[in-house]
Amino acid sequence: MTVIATENLSKRFPRVTALDRLTMRITPGVTGLVGANGAGKSTLIKILLGLSPASEGTASVLGLDVSDRGAEIRESVGYMPEHDCLPPDVSATEFVVHMARMSGLPADAARERTADTLRHVGLYEERYRPIGGYSTGMKQRVKLAQALVHDPKLVFLDEPTNGLDPVGRDDMLDLIRRVHTDFGISVLVTSHLLGELERTCDHVVVIDGGKLLRSSATADYTQRTATLAVEVTDTDTHPDGTTALREALTAAGLTVAPAGAAGEGLPGAGHVLLVEAAGSGEEAGDAGNAADAVYDTVRDTVAGLGLGLVRMEQRRHRIAEVFQNSPQPGTPGAPDTPAATETVQKGGSTDAA
Ligand SMILES: Nc1ncnc2c1ncn2[C@@H]1O[C@H](COP(=O)(O)OP(=O)(O)OP(=O)(O)O)[C@@H](O)[C@H]1O
């Protein structure tokens, strides 16, 4: 089943081409739309809502053509805009009830759905306070609640983590995941940070300068690598267990490197060694077989040194690495230009910071 489909979709403004022959297909679930500022994400959402006409090409949302079924699309789709657009003098309850009524819900149902939705986004206690006094995180939740209140089949969330601190961002990403798991609502969420979509989305679409760089399942970006991440404890005999293991594994003929920058995202990366499995293969299966002998050597070496083994696991790629290390040949608009590569790296490095 297709939720969103575009075919050669372009949007040209007098001075800039915001979308350039974008062809993609999105299925139910949580989909991330990632690109640097100005990549064309908000423009795409406005076209998909039927609010802005495309210059050429076609698009459909829930099987409805955006060029002439905009009103029907907006009945079934919720939209959380990027920019702050909330009236400061009314409470979350008043505002969300109003939006529910605008979507056609009768008064009683609007009040009931508002209470449920505000509870779901974690704003129940503060629901009668004026929005003007809310924190950024609370305002983002009000925007999310108004997008959900009419029980849509699909929601477009434009940069919902903007302006949030790391904890607020994690909370928002969890909430977004639950919009799909708890209510079965499909989600299209935009971000300029590649990394944050990795654990939230089933599928990630990357655009740059209005062009499609790649559209794949998250699992395809984060395939297992032919590298084992190994972490050990220190002991009285070996106060620096990591160094002792590194020397012993190197002596045993294995290629070992400290995790360093490549270990970003691994808890305790400073103590993690990356051990290459011989005969690396791109396929997870090949890499798995090749790793078996290395697993045995690592296990025996750790046991021989008397160290405790904290972790031994096959590393997975992070989405940002896919773009930094290996342009996808044959991918439409593959990042073979410096500008394209830089844009996606920018997303990755911002996230790492
Ligand atoms: N109404 C408009 N008139 C002229 N140019 C526009 C208009 N709307 C968007 N653009 C341009 O189109 C390009 C894509 O903008 P868009 O807002 O879609 O990007 P984005 O990926 O959503 O970035 P951001 O997160 O910064 O909003 C930008 O160069 C922008 O300046």
CB 31 less than 6 A from any atom of ligand 1: no
Query: How many Å lie between the centroid of ligand 1 and the Cα of residue 250?
Result: 52
Residue to substitute in 15, 16, 79, 206 for testing ligand 1 pocket (most ligand atoms within 8 angstroms of CB): 16
Give dist(CA 271, CA 283) in Å, integer: 28
| Ligand 1 atom with least separation from CA of 192 | 25
The DSSP call for residue 9 is E
Residue 155 Cα to ligand 1 midpoint, Å, equals 20
pLDDT of 313 reads 80
Comparing CA positions, the residue from 57, 81, 75 lying closest to residue 67 is 57
Are 77 and 153 in contact by the 8 Å Cβ rule? The answer is yes
Which tens digit of pLDDT belongs to each residue from 229-275?
A: 888 989 999 999 999 999 999 998 888 887 665 544 555 556 788 88
Lowest mean pLDDT among 126-135, 178-187, 336-345: 336-345
Q: Is residue 148 very low, low, confident or very high in pLDDT (cuts 50, 70, 90)?
A: very high
In a 13 Å sphere around the CA of 85, the CA atoms on its Cβ side amount to 12
- Condensed to tens digits (0 to 9), the pLDDT of residues 56-115 reads 999 999 999 999 999 999 999 999 999 888 999 999 999 999 999 998 899 999 999 999
Q: Is the CB of 51 under 6 A from ligand 1?
A: no
Question: Where exactly does CATH 3.40.50.300 map onto the chain?
Answer: 4-220
Determine whether the shortest distance from the Cβ of 83 to ligand 1 is under 6 A. no
* R_g of the chain computed on alpha carbons: 24
- Average confidence (pLDDT) over 150-155: 96
Outline where 103-199 has alpha helix (H): 107-120, 136-148, 166-183, 194-197
Q: What is the architecture, at CATH level 2, of domain 4-220?
A: 3-Layer(aba) Sandwich (3.40)
283 within 8 A of 220, measured Cβ to Cβ: no
Q: Is 11 in the pocket of ligand 1 (CB under 6 A)?
A: no
- State yes or no: pLDDT of 336 exceeds 50: no
Ligand 1 close to Cβ of residue 38 (< 6 A)? yes
The residue whose CA has the least distance to atom 12 of ligand 1 is 18
Tell me if 53 CB under 6 Å of ligand 1: no
Q: Which phi and psi angles does 64 have, rounded to 5°?
A: -105, 135
Cα–Cα distance for residue pair 49/60, rounded to 1 Å: 10
Q: Is 318 a residue whose pLDDT tops 70?
A: no
Mean pLDDT over residues 23-28, rounded? Answer: 95
Rounded Cα distance, 213 and 205, in Å: 8
Q: Ligand 1 pocket check: which of 10, 13, 83 to mutate, most ligand atoms within 8 Å of Cβ? A: 13
Q: Ligand 1: does its nearest atom lie under 6 Å from the Cβ of 347? A: no
Q: Ligand 1 atom 29: the closest Cα is on which residue?
A: 38
Nearest atom in ligand 1 to 11's CA: 12
Instruction: Give the residue, 233 or 334, on which the prediction is more confident.
Output: 233
